Structure 1
C-alpha cells in the first residue's frame, strides 16, 4: 500500500501551531560589543555548516522581541537575500546561544509529534522546495529574495510522522558520520599546530628568510574560454574552493608553469583572509589568487602550513582595513622566520605525517558520504525509495 501523504503550506502548519517561522533582528551598534549571545549573520552559514568564529556578541538580552530571535537546536535556518538565498543549515545541539540577523529565517517545529525537525531540514534540501525557491526568489530581475510571506506560501509534502522520523534517521546517520569526520580533521589539525609550537620552543632555532625555507608557487591565470562543468580536463582550484575543497570548474588548458595540487599539499588564498590550509580535495590546477607552498628543509607535509601561520596572520593584520586585502610576492619575500633544529623537525615529521593523512582520509570520506546523502535524499522525499533499502545502503557505507 502506498504511503499516505499530506500536501500543506508552511503557513497552514503555522496556523495549526505545528511550526514557527521567523526572521532575524536588525541589531543596533550599541547593542553589540558584550559577552552575551552571538550575532549570527547570513555569511556565517556556509555549505558545510555554521562558522561561529569571530562573531560579534550582544551586551545583554532584555527585550522580549529580541528573545524571540534567539536560535534553538533543531531550527532549520535559511538565507533569504542575495546570491546565497536558499542556503540552509540545521542548528546543532551544541550550538552556542545566538541571535539571528536579517537575511536569515528559521523554521522551527513546535510539535515533534507532527513535524520532525530533521525532516523539515531535509525537506529544505529537496527538489520540491528548490523548485518553489527558484520561482519565488529568482522569478524577477531584482536581487534574489525570499520574504516571510513567500515562505508561508511554500507547499510541503508531509508523510506520516513515522516515515518522517525514518527518513531523518537514515539521512541523519550520514550527517552524523560527516560531523565525526569533521571533528577528526579539527582535532588532528589542532594537534599538528601544538606539535609545531612545541618544536619551535626547543633549543637550536635558526632565523631564515621564508624563501629559504619554503618553495612558493603562485597560481596561474587560466582563460575562462577553456572552463567547463562537464569535468573535461582538470579541476581548477579557485580561491572560493578553499572552504569547500570541492572545485566546481574544470579546464582543458595547460600552461608552462602551472601547478597541480595534490591532497596533503599546503595552499592559501591571497585575497581577504590569508589562511594556510592542508588541501584535502581532489588533485587540481592552481588558479590565480591562490598559492602553493612546500618545505625546502624537510619536516613533512604539515611544515609549510605551520611555518606560514604566524607570518600570514601578521600580514593579514596590517592589511586589514584596506579596500580589499591582497597578498603579493613582496609580502612573503620580506618575512624572516625562526626554524626548529633538524632533530626537532624530524620528530615533528614523524608525528604529524600520519595526522595529515588522517585529515585527508576523513575529508574524502565526508565527501563520499555527502554525495550518497544527496543522492538518496530526493528519492526518499518523493517516496520513490523504501526506507529499508536506503538503510541497507547507508549501513554498507558507514
Structure 2
C-alpha cells in the first residue's frame, strides 16, 4: 500500500465544540442558520448529511451567543451521553450551529480530503476513547490521540468517489420517494380535502389532470354540510377488518440476533423510512405463538402512545414490497390496521396520516405522563367518504404505484447501504483496492 501512513486524528482535523441553546431562542422553524441538536440527526433528509434542523436562529443571534458557525464539509457527531455510543456521523452541507451536546471535525484539506473524512470518521469507534462511566463523553484530547491509517490524497479522493456514489444514489432514492409520496398526498388533498373536481364541475369547468370517466363520478354540487353532495363523514370503526397491537416476550426483548424483527414505536416514522440500527428481535418460537401483531404486506402501522408529557406525537407508516422486512411483528406500542376492501389500504394510509386525522389523534389521546391512543380513540377517528365506490377504486389504482414505489426505493437504498457498509472498512484499511470495489458495485448495479 504505497504511500499509506500512520497518523494521529488530531493532525488531520480541527475539532469545534457546540454552543448552549437558550430556551428563549428555541422554536423558530425557519431562519438563516439551522441550530442542530442530536435529535436532528434523525430528521428525514439528515441520514447522511446535516443541513436541516427543528430550530433556526439568525446570524445576529449566533453572534450574541458567541456561537461557532460550523462550515460545510465538517463532520458533526454527538459528544455526550447515550447518543455518542451510536457512532453516528453527519456531513455538514450548509453553515449551521451545533448545540453543546455535539461537536464537529473540520478536515485540514492539505492532508485530508473533506469527502473522505466523513467515511474515515465513520469507521472509528468513539466509544473506545470516551471518558466517564454513568455519562460517557468525548474530549478533544482523547479524539486527537486516535490512530488512523491514511492513504495519499489521490487515493483518498478515489475511495471517497466510490463510496460517495453509493451515498448519492441513496440520496436520489430518498428524494424520489419523497416526490412519490408528495404526489400521492397532493392527489388525496385535491380529491378529499379541497374537492377540486367538484368545484371545477360546479363552475362549469372540466376537472384538470383527470380522466373524463373518473371526473364523471364526482358530483357537481355541495350539500348543506359543505361536503360534496352525497358524501359524508364516517368513523373508522365502521370500516376496519383488523385493529390490533402486538406484544413482546415476558421480561422484554433480549439480544436475539437470529430472531424475528419486532417493530416498535421508535421505528414508526413515515412511509419508506426505517432505522435498521434500532432493530430489535424476538425469538422465533415466541413469534410462532403470536395470534396478533404479525405483519402482512400492505399493513398500516400507527404509533399509539408516547411523545412528550401531555402531548401525543402520532406517526403513521405503510409497509409493502417486503419493506422494511419480509417477516416481522409489532409490539404493544403499535397498532396494525387493515381496512375494508371498500376503502383500501392506500386510501386508508393517506387518510390516517392526513392533517385531519393527526389532529384528531392528538385530541383523542388519553393520559398525561404518557398520552396515547386506545382502541376507542381509533374507532372514533373520522374521515370523508365519497358516495361512489368507483371513486375510491380509481383513487387507489392511481396512488398504489406511488406509495409502493416509496418502499421499492427504500429497499434499493437498503441494498446499497449494506454494500457501502461492507466496502467501507475494507477500503479504509487498505484490504480492498478501489478497482476491486468498483467491480463489486457493478455487480449489484
TM-score by length of 2: 0.78
Q: Which residue of 1 aligns with 2:139?
A: 147
Secondary structure class of the residue paired with 2:89: strand
Q: Which residue of 2 aligns with 1:275?
A: 315
1:218 and 2:262 matched = no
Q: Which residue of 2 aligns with 1:366?
A: 413
> d(CA) in 2 for partners of 1:106 and 1:368?
29
Secondary structure class of the residue paired with 1:71: coil
Q: Which residue of 1 aligns with 2:257?
A: 230
1:154 Cα offset (Å): 2.2
- Pair 67,190 (structure 1): closer, same or farther in 2 beyond 3 Å: farther
Secondary structure class of the residue paired with 2:155: helix
**Contact 1:31–1:60 under 8 Å retained in 2:** no
Q: Which residue of 1 aligns with 2:104?
A: 106
Q: Which residue of 2 aligns with 1:10?
A: 9
**Contact 1:21–1:108 under 8 Å retained in 2:** yes
For structure 2, the residue ranges without an aligned partner over 5 or more in a row are: 199-227, 308-312
- Pair 74,250 (structure 1): closer, same or farther in 2 beyond 3 Å: farther
- Pair 124,54 (structure 1): closer, same or farther in 2 beyond 3 Å: closer
1:393 Cα offset (Å): 1.1
**Contact 2:173–2:413 under 8 Å retained in 1:** yes
> d(CA) in 1 for partners of 2:69 and 2:364?
35
Secondary structure class of the residue paired with 1:91: strand
**Contact 1:264–1:356 under 8 Å retained in 2:** no
- Pair 392,136 (structure 1): closer, same or farther in 2 beyond 3 Å: same
Secondary structure class of the residue paired with 1:85: helix
1:375 Cα offset (Å): 0.6
Q: Which residue of 2 aligns with 1:16?
A: none
Larger Rg: 2
- Pair 320,118 (structure 1): closer, same or farther in 2 beyond 3 Å: farther
Secondary structure class of the residue paired with 2:345: coil
1:42-74 Cα distance to aligned partner (Å, 9 max, x none): 111138346877712225435558576223322
How many residues align? The count is 383
> d(CA) in 2 for partners of 1:358 and 1:102?
39
Secondary structure class of the residue paired with 1:302: helix
Secondary structure class of the residue paired with 1:21: strand
- Pair 8,99 (structure 1): closer, same or farther in 2 beyond 3 Å: same
- Pair 237,180 (structure 1): closer, same or farther in 2 beyond 3 Å: same
**Contact 1:11–1:152 under 8 Å retained in 2:** yes
**Contact 1:216–1:294 under 8 Å retained in 2:** yes
**Contact 2:49–2:92 under 8 Å retained in 1:** no
Superposition RMSD in Å: 2.7
1:149 Cα offset (Å): 2.7
Matches within 5 A, 1:144-183: 144-183=136-175
1:289 Cα offset (Å): 0.3
TM-score by length of 1: 0.87
> d(CA) in 1 for partners of 2:108 and 2:64?
19
> d(CA) in 2 for partners of 1:300 and 1:73?
45
| Range 162-171 or range 62-71, more displaced | 62-71
Matches within 5 A, 1:1-398: 2-13=1-12, 19-34=13-28, 35-46=31-42, 48-49=47-48, 55-61=54-60, 64=63, 69-86=68-85, 87-91=87-91, 93=93, 95=94, 97-111=95-109, 113-126=110-123, 129-130=124-125, 133-137=126-130, 140-200=132-192, 201=195, 202=198, 203=228, 204-224=230-250, 227-232=254-259, 234-243=260-269, 244=274, 246=276, 247-252=279-284, 253=286, 254-271=288-305, 272=307, 273-279=313-319, 280-282=323-325, 283-309=327-353, 310-316=356-362, 322-341=368-387, 342-398=389-445
